[in-house]
Chain A
Amino acid sequence: MDDKKYATLEQEISPKPPLFQNIIRAFLTGGMICLVGQFIAVFYMTFFDFTERTASNPTVATMIFIAMLLTGFGQYRKIAQFGGAGAAVPITGFGNAVVSASIEHKSEGYVLGVGGNMFKLAGSVILFGVASAFAVALIKTILVKFGVVSW
């Protein structure tokens, strides 16, 4: 049997990812995480001296803290298996990537293990996040310069 024939057979038999179900689950999971985030933001604005703009920093920190606990107690991967991209895309997914790598490499010590591998997965998120932020900022700067939009 040649490669092409086998690829056809393999695709016929291998179960397809349930696309519609995955999308719904991702929507619900991602939405739920954002809803919790919104509650936390409102909490900071109501009980502390934060505005809508400044509340985002403590909110993000709190969300990452919750993701850290869930990862440590082995729950985040279960949420992710259910929610897919809905659990990966929000900031909690970033937290999970950092914390899971740290837990994993603790056995190799704090410097070479945790320190050296903490950003193993999240490193590319940071790199491409910064790079794309630069590109977007550049475009906006040019548009503002020509008076198309304002800051």
Chain B
Amino acid sequence: MVKKGIMTFQTTPSIASTGVTAGPLERKSPFNEQFDKVYEDERSDLTTNEQGHAKMIEDASMIALSKIDATPSDADYLLIGDLVNQMTPSNFCASSLQIPYLGMFAACATSVSSLLMGALLTESNLSTCALAGAGSQHNAIERQFRYPVEYGSQKPKTAQWTATAAGIAVVTPFKAGVPKITKGTVGRVIDLGTTDPLNMGAAMAPAAMDTLQRHLKGHRTKESDYDLIMTGDLGETGFTIFKELATRQELDISSNARDAGEEFYGKDPKFLAGASGAGCSSAVYFSYVYNEMMKGTYNKVLLIATGSLLSPLSYQQGETIPCIAHAVELTMK
């Protein structure tokens, strides 16, 4: 039977622990208390932004492993990614950790794509401990996708601020008392012809809606079944469009839908439409959402991480912005 990207995990792989690191500016985040480590220096006292980026992912991995008294030698797979060209921060992190490594790229949706990959490996009995996650570092990503960090250009209200953060989840076979991965939906690339990289939320919103609809239909669930439906980094503009699309599809998500990017900097207008970046959704999912599930606030959550699959080259050549969203369903009981 054709599955069309709809996944059900019979063995319910579990997220045994998580580790989240963030940069100094991220102290302003309302999720700040939930992060495991917040650096004083955005490069964590290393020479380049890219080195700081790698260190952040590595530290998050080590923190996640240490919480279950494990070391890198106990891990089967490292499934991580970032937004820098050829994902060098992830590569250097993998070089340092020496865990068998599969680089994952789904732009800012890597938090969920890597989690799905971890769940698949665990489900097929090929892994007992897989590290999944992603990270982003503001300066390293801005310089690649936009202008130099100190260049003075006026950004519109729809623009988003790349978060400096990394989040890692340790995926193990079924374990009681921790969130379990029960279902997933692999996204399709959706491109409705938007071209403005300073309004990425608007580009990604249709992808998030497509994945939400496919998840609900494919798994025969209702939007009201979830205590929380959280999109990754649509930002204020994208999330408003997402809610409008939901209304048009007659989905009622007014009470349980939230967006990690919109809330990441506490809706501070200095950060315009909110946060973006691979580290945004990973940091919120693997700290706040995970902790709230452990506390019992949420039992069943649907995480829809969104990513825009553009490059500076494709944008300058006048191409549209192809977007993707992957969904994963977590349950506590």
Contact = CB atoms under 8 A, between A and B. Distances in A.
Interface stretch (A9-17, A46-54, A132-140): A9-17
Interface stretch (B61-69, B125-133, B145-153): B145-153
Would you call the interface of chain B mostly helix, strand, loop, or mixed?
A: loop
Interface string B257-295: 000000000000000000000000000000000000000
Bin chain A's interface residue count.
35 or more
Bin chain B's interface residue count.
20 to 34
B194 A87 contact: no
Contacts of A74: 150
A80 interface: yes
A74 B237 CA distance: 27
A72 to B, nearest CB: 8
A40 interface: no
Nearest to A2: B192
Contacts of A103: 148-150
Given A10-B194, A10-B241, A79-B152, A100 B147 contact: yes
Interface string B230-254: 0000000100110011000000000
Nearest to A17: B156
Given A6-B206, A107-B47, A107-B49, A100 B151 contact: yes
Closest A-B pairs by Cβ, 9 of them: A80-B152, A104-B148, A3-B193, A100-B150, A84-B154, A100-B148, A100-B151, A6-B192, A107-B48
Given A13-B237, A71-B150, A80-B153, 13 more contacts: A10-B194, A13-B202, A14-B199, A72-B150, A76-B152, A77-B149, A87-B152, A96-B152, A100-B148, A101-B148, A104-B143, A104-B148, A107-B49
13 contacts: A3-B192, A9-B241, A14-B158, A14-B237, A71-B150, A79-B152, A96-B150, A100-B151, A101-B151, A103-B148, A103-B150, A107-B48, A120-B148
